[in-house]
C-alpha cells in the first residue's frame, strides 16, 4: 500500500473524527473517495491497516466500516507543536481550549517567533473583559499591532469577552455644493479629479472613497450605519446621507465585470441609484480594439466575476463587456460634454427611443 494513500485516508479520518466525534459507517467510504480521489478498494486497504495499528475502531479485517468509526490515535493537537504550546499555556491559566480553537489559534500564530507567540498569548489573556476601544486595545496589548486582535479574535473565541474591533469612522472625498441637484458616486480617484475640474461640480456632488476598509463596494452599508464622514476637497461639508436619500443618485465606474458588481452592491442600500449615462460613451469604446482591453493580469482584471444582472441595464452591459472592458479614465480629463447625471439607457432602448422621437 503506497504511503501517500495511507496518509490521505488517515488525515481524513483524524480530522473528521476530531474531538471524539464518531463517524457514521454508511457513506464513509464514499466520503473518503470524494475527498481523496482514491478507489474504494484502496480505501478499505488503508482502513484495515489503521485498524491493525490500533488507530481506529469500527472496521472489519478487510477494512469495511461495520459500526461507528472512532479515531483512537493522537489528536491533531497532539501532533502539532504550536497547538500543544497554545493548549498548555492556557491550561496553566485554568482555561480549557477546545481542539478546534486550539488548532485555529495555532494556525493564526504559525510562523511567528516563539517569544512573540508567548507575548501574544499573554496579551490575549489580559484582554479578557477589556471594555475599551478594540483597536487601541490591540495596539497596546498585542505587540503594537492595531490589526492583530481582528486576526486572533475568532480563533480566541473560547476566551471571555474580548474587545470588539468595531468599524471606526470612515471618510470619503467630496466635491460640489451642499444643495446639489444630484449625487454622483465615482469609482476611481483620477476620474474624481476630472469631475472636480469640470462644469458638473457647480451643481452635482461628486463622491469618491479612499482609505483602509472603505470602498465603493461597502460604502452604502457604512453610510447607512452612520460611519461615513464627508471630507470636501471643493465646497463645504455636505449632509451626505440626507442628499443620497432625497436626490437622484448615479454611479460612474469602470465598464468591466467588477464595476457592474460594485453598482449591484450599492443598489442593496440605495435602491434608486442609476448607472450614469457616461456608460454609453464607454460602451462605444468596447468595440474599438485600440480603446478597450481583455481581462488579463496586465490590466489587473484577471479573475473578475460576472455581475448577476439585477437590472436590464446591468444585464445588457455585462454582455457588452464580457470579453473586453474599458476603464472610466478612458473618457479623458475633459468630461464637460458628458451627461454624467442622466441615467444610462441600453443601446437597443436608445434605438427604440430614437424611432419614437422621429
Asked which of 45, 71, 97 is the last residue of a domain, the reply is 71
Q: Of the candidates 66, 335, 52, 3, which has an alpha carbon nearest to the alpha carbon of residue 198? A: 335
Domain annotation covers residue 106: yes
Domain annotation covers residue 161: no
Query: Which pLDDT score is estimated for 356?
Result: 40
C-alpha 295/C-alpha 308 separation (Å) is 18
Asked which of 95, 119, 152 is the last residue of a domain, the reply is 152
249-252 and 182-186: which strand pairing?
Answer: parallel
125 with 192, same domain: the answer is no
User: Per-residue pLDDT for the chain (358 aa), expressed as one digit of tens each?
Assistant: 678 888 899 889 888 887 678 899 989 999 999 999 999 999 999 999 988 888 888 999 899 999 999 887 656 556 678 888 888 898 899 988 877 788 788 888 888 889 999 999 999 898 888 877 888 888 888 899 888 888 777 666 777 777 766 656 788 899 999 999 999 999 988 999 999 999 999 999 999 986 545 677 788 888 887 888 888 999 999 999 999 999 999 999 999 999 999 999 999 889 999 999 999 999 999 999 999 999 998 999 999 999 999 999 999 999 999 999 999 999 999 999 999 999 999 865 544 444 344 3
248 with 123, same domain: the answer is no
42 with 110, same domain: the answer is no
C-alpha cell at 297: 493580469
Query: Which pLDDT score is estimated for 115?
Result: 92
341 with 240, same domain: the answer is yes
65 with 125, same domain: the answer is no
Query: Which pLDDT score is estimated for 348?
Result: 59
336 with 278, same domain: the answer is yes
Domain annotation covers residue 157: no
Domain annotation covers residue 38: yes
Asked which of 152, 185, 203 is the last residue of a domain, the reply is 152
Neighbours of 92 (CB within 10 A): 8
C-alpha cell at 157: 473565541
Q: What is the CATH number of the domain that holds 184?
A: 3.40.1360
Give Cα separations from 92 to 122, 128, 210, 337 (angstroms).
12, 16, 45, 71
Q: What is the CATH number of the domain that holds 52?
A: 1.10.10.10
Domain annotation covers residue 302: yes
204 burial class (0-12, 13-18, 19+ CB within 10 angstroms)? buried
How many independent structural domains does the chain possess? 3
Domain annotation covers residue 76: no
Query: Which pLDDT score is estimated for 79?
Result: 61
Domain annotation covers residue 324: yes
Domain annotation covers residue 158: no
103 with 64, same domain: the answer is no
133 with 269, same domain: the answer is no
121 with 252, same domain: the answer is no
176 with 218, same domain: the answer is yes
User: Is the separation of the CB atoms in 184 and 276 below 8 Å?
Assistant: yes
Query: Which pLDDT score is estimated for 178?
Result: 95
203 with 244, same domain: the answer is yes
Q: Helix (H, G, I), strand (E, B), or coil: what is residue 264?
A: helix
Whether pTM exceeds 0.85: no
Full residue range of the structural domain in which residue 20 is found: 3-71
180 with 145, same domain: the answer is no
C-alpha cell at 284: 462605444
Amino acid at each position: 500500500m503506497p504511503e501517500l494513500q495511507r496518509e490521505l485516508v488517515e488525515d481524513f479520518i483524524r480530522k473528521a473524527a476530531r474531538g471524539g466525534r464518531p463517524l457514521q459507517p454508511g457513506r464513509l467510504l464514499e466520503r473518503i473517495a470524494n475527498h481523496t480521489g482514491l478507489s474504494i478498494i484502496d480505501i478499505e486497504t488503508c482502513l484495515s491497516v489503521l485498524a491493525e495499528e490500533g488507530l481506529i475502531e469500527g472496521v472489519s479485517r478487510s477494512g469495511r466500516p461495520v459500526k461507528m468509526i472512532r479515531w483512537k490515535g493522537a489528536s491533531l493537537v497532539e501532533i502539532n507543536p504550536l497547538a500543544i504550546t497554545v493548549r498548555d499555556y492556557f491550561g496553566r491559566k485554568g482555561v480549557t481550549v477546545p481542539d478546534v480553537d486550539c488548532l485555529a489559534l495555532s494556525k493564526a500564530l504559525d510562523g511567528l517567533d516563539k517569544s512573540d507567540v508567548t507575548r501574544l498569548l499573554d496579551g490575549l489573556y489580559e484582554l479578557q473583559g477589556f471594555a475599551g476601544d478594540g483597536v487601541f486595545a490591540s495596539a497596546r496589548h498585542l505587540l503594537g499591532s492595531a490589526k492583530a486582535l481582528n486576526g486572533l479574535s475568532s480563533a480566541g473565541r473560547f476566551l471571555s469577552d474580548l474587545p470588539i474591533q468595531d468599524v471606526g469612522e470612515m471618510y470619503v472625498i467630496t466635491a460640489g455644493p451642499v444643495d446639489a441637484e444630484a449625487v454622483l458616486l465615482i469609482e476611481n480617484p483620477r476620474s474624481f479629479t476630472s469631475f472636480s475640474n469640470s462644469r458638473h461640480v457647480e451643481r452635482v456632488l461628486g463622491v469618491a472613497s479612499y482609505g483602509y476598509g472603505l470602498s465603493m463596494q461597502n460604502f452604502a452599508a457604512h453610510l447607512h450605519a452612520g460611519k461615513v464622514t464627508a471630507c470636501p476637497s471643493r465646497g463645504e461639508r455636505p449632509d451626505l446621507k440626507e442628499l443620497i436619500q432625497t436626490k437622484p443618485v448615479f454611479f460612474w465606474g469602470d465598464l468591466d465585470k467588477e464595476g457592474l458588481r460594485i453598482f449591484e452592491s450599492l443598489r442593496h442600500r440605495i435602491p434608486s441609484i442609476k448607472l450614469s449615462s457616461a456608460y454609453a460613451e464607454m460602451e462605444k469604446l468596447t468595440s474599438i480594439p485600440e480603446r478597450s482591453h481583455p481581462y488579463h493580469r496586465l490590466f489587473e482584471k484577471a479573475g473578475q466575476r460576472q455581475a448577476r444582472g439585477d437590472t436590464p441595464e446591468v444585464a445588457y452591459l455585462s454582455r457588452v463587456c464580457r470579453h473586453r472592458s474599458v476603464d472610466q479614465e478612458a473618457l479623458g480629463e475633459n468630461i464637460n460634454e458628458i451627461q454624467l447625471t442622466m441615467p444610462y439607457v441600453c443601446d437597443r432602448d436608445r434605438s427604440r427611443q430614437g424611432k419614437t422621437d422621429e
